[in-house]
Structure formats: structure tokens, C-alpha cells
Amino acid sequence: MNIDLHCHSTASDGLLKPGELVARAVVNGVEVLALTDHDNVSGLVEARAQAESQGIRFVNGVEISVTWEGSTVHIVGLQIDPEDPVLRSGLESVRAGRARRAEKMGEALDAAGIPGSLAGARIYAENPTLISRSHFARHLVKTGRAPNVKSVFQRYLVKGKPGYVPHQWASLADAVSWIRASGGIAVVAHPGRYKFPKPELHAFLAEFRDCGGAGIEVVTGSHSPEQYLEFARVARKFGLRASRGSDYHGKGESKADLGALPQLPDDLSPVWRDW
Ligand code: AMP
Ligand code: MN
Ligand code: MN
Ligand code: MN
């Protein structure tokens, strides 16, 4: 079965509208799709309607930004109820933090001699309540600061660079509890991206599990094939359900297309086992 449980639309920092994203997933042979926009659920209604009209199964999702021990990590929620008031108010608080961070990023870039980037980023943010580094990146590419989004991140938007602003996202316990309050399952997104030394990764996963977290992405667009095997071992060791998702954002901005990744190793217990 072709299952893709992680992607982004214009409701956060993806390039396709929710309905367009679903249509592309269908063309690619996806049979079960979750939309997991950053800190926001406003794209789910349109995506679900498109999925129903095209006859594929749709899963409500979200990807919550979290700060754990000073590092940013992402927690995906699957099978959430987007109307749940606890989830909604939690996500609203995270988005308010994003708005404040964007102001500071604009000021930092102004001070570095790159004026007007907040206004520029806003043009790319179709959802004005969800402004991301990706929107700044697209503006900086457009204005010739770097040839592509990847290099703009390296030059301007990561730790130690002029447009980087440290930020406190949701706590791990809060993010997991919002997901669970809305009936969802919490899944660690792209663990290979965090570069945690082993003891820290283990401490993080132990705390995640203690908070009620239940899954981990094993096959994701962010992982190399070696990391599929590495995080399959981690899933077994920690008794976590395994997930698979492309993290597709749009043409030219993603390593993996919708539905294009390999299957999970057979022996793992997938997050969708009881769906
Ligand atoms: P934010 O949540 O606003 O800090 O933005 C994070 C988003 O930026 C991620 O979800 C990716 O879509 C994108 N991103 C982060 N790092 C990179 C990178 N090195 N190259 C391209 N996109 C990136
Ligand atoms: Mn993103
Ligand atoms: Mn992520
Ligand atoms: Mn993502």
C-alpha cells in the first residue's frame, strides 16, 4: 500500500494548495495521505474534500514545532481532530510565537544590510498567520541573495547566520498532550535531522514516550537509506510505531516526491496498523 503521512501545503510552507497537493498525490499513486502543515490545520478541510472526490483515504495531520533541551524538533500528530479546542489553542500560541520571531528576523536582516525581507516574506506566505523561514528563503532567492532555497538557508537562516533568531517553541509535553487531547497519535518527525548524540537521542525518545508519544518516522525524505535502517532499529528498541512520509513541500524544494519513498521494513509495527 502506498501511504504518505507527511507533507505541506500553502496553509504552511508548501508550494501547492491543499487540493492541488492531494491531486498530485493521486497521480503519484498514493492511497492514504496525511497533510501535516506546520502548527496549523486550516488546509485539512480542502484537502479532505479533494481526497474524497478522488477516492483516496485522507488522514488529518499537523506538524508541531517544539523546543527540547534547546534544540528544535518536530512532532507530527496523525488522526487528530482539527476542531478540538485544546489542540486549536495550543497551535494558536505557537503561531503567535512565529509572528514575533518573523518580526525579529526582519529586524536582524535589516541590521545586516538586507532591508525589506519581512515584507518580502509576507508576500510568499499565503496564510498570513503562518510565516516560516521558508517564506524568507523564497524572498531572498527572488532578490538574488543566493541561487536557491538550500543555499539561502546556509548563508542566512541557520544558527550563526545573520537572519537566524533563536526561538522557544512549544514544550515536548505540551505538543504531545495537544495531539492526544484531540484523539491523535504523536510521531517524532525526521529524527535523523536532529544530529543528537546517541545518549541525547535516547533521552529525548524516553521522554517522548513518557509523555505519551507513540511513533517515529523511519522512512522520510530527510533520511538516507542507511538512516532507514538506523531508525528502524531505534523504533524496535523503543517500542515505537513506525511512520513513512515524504515531507514534500513542492517542486525544487523537496528531496522526495509524494508517495515515492520505499516501504517500511516488514517487521515494524506501522502507525496505521489499527486504522
Ligand atoms: P521554520 O519552522 O519557520 O523554522 O522553518 C523550517 C522549515 O524550513 C522546514 O520545515 C523546511 O521546510 C525549511 N528548511 C529548514 N532547513 C532547510 C534547509 N537547509 N534547506 C531548505 N529548507 C529548509
Ligand atoms: Mn517546512
Ligand atoms: Mn519538519
Ligand atoms: Mn515537515
Give pLDDT tens digits for 234-264. Answer: 999 999 999 999 999 999 999 999 999 999 9
| pTM confidence score | 0.98
Ligand 1, residues 13, 139, 190: which to mutate, most atoms within 8 A of Cβ?
13
Q: What is the pLDDT of residue 272?
A: 98
Cα of 130 from ligand 3 centre, angstroms: 14
Look over the chain and give the mean of its residue pLDDT values, rounded to a whole number: 98
Decide: 180 in ligand 1 pocket, CB within 6 A: no
What are the grid coordinates assigned to 163, written together?
537572519
pLDDT tens digits for 88-118?
A: 999 999 999 999 999 999 999 999 999 999 9
Q: What is the pLDDT of residue 21?
A: 98
Is-contact 183 87, C-beta < 8 A? no
Confidence tier at 205 by pLDDT (50, 70, 90): very high
Is-contact 241 270, C-beta < 8 A? yes
What integer is the mean pLDDT of 123-137?
Answer: 97
**How much of the chain, in percent, has pLDDT values that exceed 70?**
100
What are the grid coordinates assigned to 107, written together?
529586524
What integer is the mean pLDDT of 20-27?
Answer: 98
Confidence tier at 226 by pLDDT (50, 70, 90): very high
Q: Which atom of ligand 1 is nearest to the CA of 150?
A: 20
Beta bridge partners of 3: 32
Rg of the chain over all Cα atoms, to the nearest angstrom: 18
What integer is the mean pLDDT of 43-69?
Answer: 98
Kind and range of the H or E element at 185?
Answer: strand 185-188
Q: What is the pLDDT of residue 266?
A: 97
Decide: 95 in ligand 1 pocket, CB within 6 A: no
Decide: 40 in ligand 1 pocket, CB within 6 A: no
Confidence tier at 155 by pLDDT (50, 70, 90): very high
Confidence tier at 22 by pLDDT (50, 70, 90): very high
What are the grid coordinates assigned to 93, written together?
500560541
Cβ count within 10 A of residue 136: 28
Q: What is the pLDDT of residue 255?
A: 94
Q: What is the pLDDT of residue 107?
A: 98
Cα of 165 from ligand 3 centre, angstroms: 18
Is-contact 5 34, C-beta < 8 A? yes
Cα of 113 from ligand 4 centre, angstroms: 30
Q: What is the pLDDT of residue 217?
A: 99
